[in-house]
Amino acid sequence: MQRTILITGASSGFGAMTAKALARVGHRVYASMRDPQARGGAAAAEIERLARDENLAIRAIALDVLSEPSIEAAVETILAEAGRIDVVIHNAGHMVFGPVEAFTPEQLAQLYDVNVLGTQRVNRAVLPGMRSLGRALMIWVGSSSTRGGTPPFLAPYFAAKAGMDALAQSYALELARFGIETSIVVPGAFTKGTEHFAHSGKPADTERAAAYWSGPCAGADEQALKGLARPGARRCRSRESRRGHRRSRGDAAWPPPVPRPYRPVR
């Protein structure tokens, strides 16, 4: 059965990969991105090409997780066209790299705004309709980093992802009785199809950062990045939130397939 799926942050990386895979197995996919015209509109054009050449039910749509009006406009468009949203995939996020001391409090707040508050803005727009369906799915793209601070120099990102993880688990408890399932996908470092590390933010306090890079941590940044982004280093594991999680029955195609399998960790 075809499901209507909204994916945030689908201009590249996990989001784009997931959007294409789900559309190719027959679902109706809205690949949202902050600005479909960014970089000459290449990402949106690729989605349009797939829809045309492969006859897929996939569409690029503008949605900025930092803007409630943008989110509400996107959700209204989807509901007007499809009539429902069965699945939401929280994928939009941003990463930073550097000594945590060198990041200002404002930088940490900005990262939290994207990775955590962005999901809350989206949920407030989509959940009224999803609750009324009595059967839906919410997927949160987390990070293996939430269980430990390894590797170093990614602490602000780790903290934001841990916040999102905690929010997702609480949502699972509260949404289960409405028939909304919750899954948290926990990827490791992916070296292909994403520019997560290349586009990561840097510390604003360059003087404090230099104290690390020219001191006892000299060369550690390059070593860490090489370890994260070496060819063949891709790995992924996932889990489902157990407390408050309810698996729908009677439909072998539910939840819809995703590019990487997800199974509960006991």
Tokens of 88: 């939401």
**pLDDT at position 258:** 43
Q: Which CATH class is domain 4-240?
A: alpha beta
* Contact present, 104 and 205 (Cβ < 8 Å): yes
**pLDDT at position 244:** 40
**Could you tell me which of 6, 1, 2 has the C-alpha nearest to residue 138?**
6
Encoded amino acid at 121, one letter: R
Tokens of 211: 């104290």
Predicted structure pTM score: 0.82
Q: Within its chain, how far is the Cα of 244 from the centroid?
A: 21
Domain locations in the chain as residue ranges = 4-240
**pLDDT at position 189:** 67
pLDDT block averages, 10 residues each, the chain of length 266? 96 93 98 94 95 97 98 98 98 92 96 97 98 97 76 88 95 97 85 62 91 84 66 42 37 41 39
Whose tokens are 């994207």? That residue is 114
Q: Within its chain, how far is the Cα of 225 from the centroid?
A: 21
Whose tokens are 């390059």? That residue is 222
Q: Which residues are catalytic?
A: 157
Fill in the DSSP letter of residue 54: T
**pLDDT at position 197:** 61
**pLDDT at position 227:** 62
Burial letters 2-26, b for 16+ CB under 10 A, else e: ebbbbbbbbbbbbbbbbbbbbbeee
State which H helix or E strand residue 264 sits in: none
**pLDDT at position 150:** 67
